[in-house]
Amino acid sequence: MHPMLNIAIRAARKAGDHVIKSLEKPQGIEVANKGSDVVTNIDHEAEAIIINSILKSYPDHCILAAESGTKEGRDKECQWIIDPVDGTKNFVRGLPHYAISIALRMRGRTEVSVVYDPSRNELFTATRGSGAQLNSQRLRTSQPRDLSGTIIATGLPFAAKQHAEALNKVQSAIFVECDDMRQSGCSALDLCYLAAGRVDGVVKLGQKPWELAAGELIAREAGAICTDFTGNTNYLTSGNIVAGNARVVKPIIAKIREHGGEALAK
């Protein structure tokens, strides 16, 4: 196992244990607004656990974390991207669908990824060039021939409501051809479920880098193509992602171009 993946797994499990244990005393969970999102004291505590675990082994590495932002280290070539609880709104409402997400980027490429679902004890991992696993079992995406019969994971643009009308037109066009759509509230797990063949495609708008970085490597290592809304690979910058096999991604991008207009053309 890649030594840095081992560190990420250890950090994710430790943070996941803390998140699950917090549910034993729900009165101790403090919720605050964070722009159009929410954050809890558990997010901050889990993030500190992850960062401390990583920096103990790699004190010179850089950090980009959902709650505490950027921490510059001496080694500028290595950056850990962390979301301590992806799906905080689900967590706060008692919906057991959220995950700890950790990715390491080296020289601008994602090398290792961990997405840990503590509610189901499902550990999704990937190392660049070595495939993706769920609890050590190899993952492969589904291979639909077109959109018919597919399940597509998507989401409402709660952080970019100005694009709601354009995205709704795109989603409606996709829905006409696919079998069904899902809005789970956790982008990291959407991408992992794509890797596991539980869904056949992912379309998400306005995502943060920490919501995509770990899951997209897991999806790609399981056989998925990941692009932005223009068919390029700038999704960590734009926050817009389409993922699936080529026969799913191509018609979805075509529908974005046809129905999304200039608002989604990035």
Token pair belonging to 28: 């101790």
How many Å from the N-terminal Cα to the C-terminal Cα in the chain?
Answer: 37
Distance CA 221, CA 223 (A): 5
Binding site residue list: 83, 86
Tokens of 126: 């990937």
Question: What's the token pair of residue 205?
Answer: 């708008």
Interior/surface letters 10-24, b for 16+ CB within 10 angstroms, e for the rest: bbbbbbbebbeebee
57 bridge partner residues: none
Annotated binding site for Mg(2+): 83, 86
Cα atoms in the Cβ-side hemisphere of radius 13 Å centred on 189: 24
